[in-house]
């Protein structure tokens, strides 16, 4: 693992690191914020998964998360959204290929060689982080924005016992029924829709739910509202009687102005679960 940069931030350290990934077969970069409390021993870890077109850097710079994480004594990790580099398959569209890994393990060509993002985020990167930095593997939460919200919800439900809490900002809730989903799931996983089910938060909510608290925020003025399918997930939550808070925030759109506005709420929500 290589240290790309480290900067003092709110008493802690915001670092950027790179490593060679066996899962993706590429060099991967991630951001990690360690609060000052980590100097005394392992601290809880909150995963933040970013959305379409993003890298590890977007939320790290724009979300304003470090101040709140420092005050709560929580580490933050910001993975990249896809493999990158020469020889890595890509597409001209912004919502497929590099920057649009959708947190799945691709089975179809030309994506399968490198696009193993579920394995990377669920297995390889956690092992690297837990073996290198003072974080507590038994106290983890996960959140994300848009495509990353989709990833946060599906990873939380797909890895029972891994995360104590899950939240999401404007997540893609029902990708198997959305243009933000059907195209990508077909490309990465093939035409058999049965293979898509474990990557659809609404279907996963119907089949298994999440054994812990859940918080979801979506803006009423989100310009991609029709693609998110928030209502489908809300209905599945109600039918299952899942413990969840789903808030429609009046006038907010899909931007990081929205994310940063409610970041304090989300980190406080996770802190209660991780320190409770």
| pLDDT score recorded for residue 48 | 98
What's the domain range around 32? Answer: 2-275
Q: Is the pLDDT of residue 28 over 90?
A: yes
Flag whether the pTM goes above 0.75.
Answer: yes
Q: Is the pLDDT of residue 9 over 90?
A: yes
Count of domains forming the chain: 1
**CATH code of 206's domain:** 3.40.50.1820
Q: Is the pLDDT of residue 97 over 90?
A: yes
Cite the active site residues. 146, 222, 254
Mean pLDDT value across residues 193-216: 98
pLDDT tens per residue, range 228-271: 999 999 999 999 999 999 999 999 999 999 999 999 999 999 99
| pLDDT score recorded for residue 276 | 85
Mean pLDDT value across residues 191-216: 98
Mean pLDDT value across residues 46-72: 98
Q: Is the pLDDT of residue 40 over 90?
A: yes
DSSP the chain: -EEEEEEEETTEEEEEEEEE-TTTSSEEEEEEEE-GGGGGS-EEEEEEE--TT--THHHHHHS-HHHHHHHHT-EEEE--SS--STT----SSTTSBTTB-TT-B--STTTTTT-BHHHIIIIIHHHHHHHHSSEEEEEEEEEEBTHHHHHHHHHHHHSTTT-SEEEEES----GGGSHHHHHHHHHHH-S-GGGGGGG-HHHHHHHT--SS-EEEEEETT-TTHHHH-HHHHHHHHHHHT---EEEEETT--SSHHHHHHHHHHHHHHHHHHHH-
């Amino acid at each position: 693992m290589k240290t790309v940069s480290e900067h003092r931030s709110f008493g802690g350290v915001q670092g950027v690191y790179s490593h060679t990934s066996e899962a993706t077969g590429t060099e991967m970069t991630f951001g990690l914020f360690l609060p000052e409390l980590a100097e005394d021993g392992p601290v809880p870890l909150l995963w933040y998964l970013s959305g379409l077109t993003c890298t590890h850097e977007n939320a790290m710079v724009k979300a304003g998360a470090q101040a709140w994480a420092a005050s709560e004594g929580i580490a933050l990790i910001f993975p990249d959204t896809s493999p990158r580099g020469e020889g890595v398959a890509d597409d001209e569209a912004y919502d497929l290929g590099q920057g649009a890994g959708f947190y799945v393990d691709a089975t179809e060509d030309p994506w399968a060689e490198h696009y193993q993002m579920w394995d990377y985020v669920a297995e390889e990167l956690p092992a690297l982080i837990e073996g290198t930095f003072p974080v507590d593997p038994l106290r983890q939460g996960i959140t994300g924005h848009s495509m990353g919200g989709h990833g946060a919800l599906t990873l939380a439900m797909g890895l029972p016992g891994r995360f104590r809490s899950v939240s999401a900002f404007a997540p893609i809730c029902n990708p198997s029924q959305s243009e933000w989903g059907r195209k990508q799931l077909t490309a990465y996983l093939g035409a058999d829709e049965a293979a898509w089910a474990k990557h659809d938060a609404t279907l996963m909510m119907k089949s298994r739910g999440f054994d812990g608290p859940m918080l979801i925020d979506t803006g009423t003025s989100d310009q991609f509202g029709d693609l998110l399918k928030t209502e489908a997930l809300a209905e599945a939550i109600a039918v299952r009687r899942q413990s969840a808070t789903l808030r429609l925030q009046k006038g907010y759109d899909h931007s990081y102005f929205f994310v940063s506005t409610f970041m304090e709420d989300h980190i406080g929500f996770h802190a209660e679960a991780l320190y409770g």
